[in-house]
Amino acid sequence: MEKKEHIISILVYNKPDVLARIAGTLGGKGYNIESLSVNTTTQYEISKIVMTSIGNQATISRIENQLQRLVDVISVEDLTNVESVHREMALVRLNLTPDKKDQIKKAVDDNQWKVIVSNDNYVILEITGDKAQLDLAMARLEPLGIADITRTGLVALELKN
Amino acid sequence: MKLKGSQILLKMLEEEKVDLIFGYPGGAVLDIYDQLYKSKIKHILVRHEQGAVHAADGYARATGRVGVCLVTSGPGATNTVTGIATANMDSIPIVVFTGQVPTTLIGNDAFQESDITGITRPCTKHNFLVRSVEELAATIKEAFHIARSGRPGPVLVDLPKNVMAAETEFAPADIKIRNYDVAHKPVPKKLAQVFEMLNHAKRPLLMTGGGVILGRAAGELSELARKYKIPVTGTLMGLGSFPGTDPLWLGMLGMHGTYHANMAVSHCDLLIAVGVRFDDRVTGTIETFAPNAQIVQIDIDPSSINRNVVVELPIIGETKATLKDLLQFLAEHKYIPAQEARQEWLGEIALWKEKVPLTYCQNGEIIKPQYVIETLHKVTNGDVIVTTEVGQNQMWTAQFFKFDKPNTFITSGGLGTMGYGLPAAIGVKCALPGKQVVDIAGDGSIQMNIQELATAAQYNIAVKVVLLNNGFLGMVRQWQELFYEKRYSHTDMTYAPDFVKLAEAFGVVGMRITKPGEVEEALRKAFAIDKPVLMDFRVSREECVYPMVRPGESLADMDLGTREMIN
């Protein structure tokens, strides 16, 4: 069976150790979490966790079953199999060194990257997009000299309920 | 009504109809023990917290009710971990209450502080740290509900000392909890598939597991087997879910299963597995497990399905309700097994049984452990609840004691916890004082929780310990004999206490039996005494458990151990 990245959306009760339960269950059973994103929903007592994991369909089904066993898990859905939109975000600091300064400013203009902080020494960019867009941006940022970077986990939403 | 946390705890235990707690006091639970002093709930003081959990576990396995224990914080709590993991692996409903340092000290490395909810997260079904007295009552109710609903399991509730001392309004009627029940969905389409599969099968086989006992489905399983003449094998946890004396019973399958059970699994064309999880000790090499069979798996827990063995037809549901539906479907659609093919299949199994029966050779002046177990069955007519320790004693019991009823064989199957049997037997005897309860033990295992003899003596809990004393960690020694050229690295237990004197020192009756001719009389004598008794049977030192599927082999390739059988 083909191995690929699956996006798993989990609704949970917003309890103090629910993330530890999920991470512990997956870690303890030998499954790897590639990316993770957690926040509350419109209801404070319910959180949504979006995680990605690489595996074949059988492995992913086992992960879903293990998560379903947890008392604080309300529902688990593999968004890979339904139509959904995906976004990630990166915050990137580029140092405006004399040799790169012009190159950076041109690249920011050309790519229409969103600048959220700018001063004489550096710029901080906010890059949002799906995985392919982020990967493309990273490839273009690389030669400019990334001073620091933070990337979120992937978030996803199914097109219709 | 304003009540303190410790009072609410006991009120809620009464609400849950808890009549018995196994426990051990300490600083963090002083408030609770002060309430217990005035309570009608009986408390058994164990001698080690691990014993408390195993006793609660034994109580639960024998009665189907939730077992309860209470221990203090820190080491009291960490001592419960092996017991909790044991219950978790076998899906046993228990609730473990642990004391905790006051909430204001949590995280400070306070005296006797341990992050017990963190430690037990992977080995409980669920756990709670109660942060305020307002959430206490609902948490306790939730804990009991979670422990016994769906696929049962252990739940731990951590109780900080200040929460036990704090006061709040208490109104039990207002307590609401979330609903976790696994709904049993009717599956007519799947039942029709089973019907079709049964119609086409020439060699059907039932495989029963712990889920049949936990789901109280033994009656339905037996009806299915007997009505349609389907032979039955079972896992260690399934023993007792189908009568061991029924001709359709093939015995346990797997590593130390019977030859005919393993051959039947290897040759069947339809395997209906109920309440099993296809543990590695059961399947042998996965690739060659039931190679000719279509497999139907009935289980309450979706995570048990397609985990180890990929099955053709999974049915998720309670074992009892599903088997009931299946029986009804088969009756309505007038399923009649093809007589000739079925006779041929049963005949084939009978030939395997004849070719390699379960056997041993009791001659000479040395007691064979299997003989003790068979004699125990004879003396008690099988009307006894048996717990075991882990190792050879456990496997010989599984092989040679014919369990006819569910909840009568109580053993640590998944985790394989040495030291389980004695405290579990104490728990069983406390739950069912009118029953004879026997712990079949080895000399290694018994020493792991032997302090519980004091508990048995203090309350006159009249359990009988059948100690099969071979002076070895027998199962490990067996593997060293077979796979490590008899290099008996640290398995010789000849240096041991005088078990008879030790029993007597605890206030337990001690007996030593050294000759085959004394076995039956000793057992009869022990059962006539209304006190705990330890019988030290000196048995053949290097007896092996046979037959055996060597690790990495198929069930069909059993090591029959003929050398051992004839000497």
Whether residue B163 contacts residue B131, with contact meaning beta carbons closer than 8 Å, is answered with yes
Asked, for residue B364, whether it belongs to a domain, the answer is no
The CATH number of whichever domain residue A122 belongs to comes to 3.30.70.1150
Report the alpha-carbon distance of residue B87 to residue B507 in Å, rounded: 29
* CA distances to A143, B40, B100 from B31, in Å: 66, 16, 12
The CATH number of whichever domain residue A25 belongs to comes to 3.30.70.260
Asked, for residue B84, whether it belongs to a domain, the answer is yes
Domain co-membership, B383 together with B463 = yes
User: What residue in B sits closest to A23 (Cα-Cα)?
Assistant: B122
Of the candidates B403, B391, B414, the residue with the CA atom closest to the CA atom of residue B544: B391
The CATH number of whichever domain residue B268 belongs to comes to 3.40.50.1220
**CB neighbours (10 Å) of residue B118?**
14
Domain co-membership, A76 together with A110 = no
- In the residue annotation, B343 being an active-site residue is answered as no
Q: Is A40 on the interface with B (CB under 8 A)?
A: no
Domain co-membership, B275 together with B406 = no
Domain co-membership, B147 together with B12 = yes
Domain co-membership, B261 together with B302 = yes
Residue B255 domain boundaries:
188-355
Q: How large is the ipTM?
A: 0.90
- In the residue annotation, B483 being an active-site residue is answered as no
Q: Which of B42, B111, B167, B378 is catalytic?
A: B111
How close does chain B come to A61, measured CA to CA in Å? 9
Report the alpha-carbon distance of residue A89 to residue B98 in Å, rounded: 43
Residue A136 domain boundaries:
85-158
Domain co-membership, A44 together with A99 = no
Choose among B118, B301, B305: nearest Cβ to A69: B301
Q: What is the pLDDT of residues A67-78, one digit of tens each?
A: 999 999 999 999
Of the candidates B386, B379, B364, B394, the residue with the CA atom closest to the CA atom of residue B475: B394
In B444-521, the DSSP E strands lie at 464-469, 509-513
Interface test with B, best of A13, A19, A56, A69 (most B CBs within 10 A): A69
Report the alpha-carbon distance of residue B88 to residue B92 in Å, rounded: 6
Q: Considering A33, A64, A81, which residue would you say is the last residue of a domain?
A: A81
CB–CB contact B121 A65 (8 Å)? no
Domain co-membership, A11 together with A67 = yes
How close does chain A come to B450, measured CA to CA in Å? 32
Residue by residue, pLDDT tens for chain B (567 residues) are 899 999 999 999 999 999 999 999 999 999 999 999 999 999 999 999 999 999 999 999 999 999 999 999 999 999 999 999 999 999 999 999 999 999 999 999 999 999 999 999 999 999 999 999 999 999 999 999 999 999 999 999 999 999 999 999 998 777 777 766 655 666 789 999 999 999 999 999 999 999 999 999 999 999 999 999 999 999 999 999 999 999 999 999 999 999 999 999 999 999 999 999 999 999 999 999 999 999 999 999 989 988 889 999 999 999 999 999 999 999 999 999 999 999 999 999 999 999 999 999 988 899 999 999 999 999 999 999 999 999 999 999 999 999 999 999 999 999 999 999 999 999 999 999 999 999 999 999 999 999 999 999 999 999 999 999 999 999 999 999 999 999 999 999 999 999 999 999 999 999 999 999 999 999 999 999 999 999 999 999 999 999 999 999 999 999 998 644 443
Whether residue B278 contacts residue B555, with contact meaning beta carbons closer than 8 Å, is answered with no
How close does chain B come to A21, measured CA to CA in Å? 7
Domain co-membership, A73 together with A100 = no
Of the candidates B441, B461, B463, B405, the residue with the CA atom closest to the CA atom of residue B536: B441
| SS3 at position B361 | coil
Whether residue A90 contacts residue A151, with contact meaning beta carbons closer than 8 Å, is answered with yes
Q: CA B354, B516, B501: angle at the middle one, nearest 5?
A: 135
Report the alpha-carbon distance of residue B456 to residue B439 in Å, rounded: 12
Q: CA B557, B242, B425: angle at the middle one, nearest 5?
A: 95
Report the alpha-carbon distance of residue B434 to residue B419 in Å, rounded: 24
Q: CA B75, B80, B83: angle at the middle one, nearest 5?
A: 155
Report the alpha-carbon distance of residue B449 to residue B47 in Å, rounded: 9
Q: Is A74 on the interface with B (CB under 8 A)?
A: no
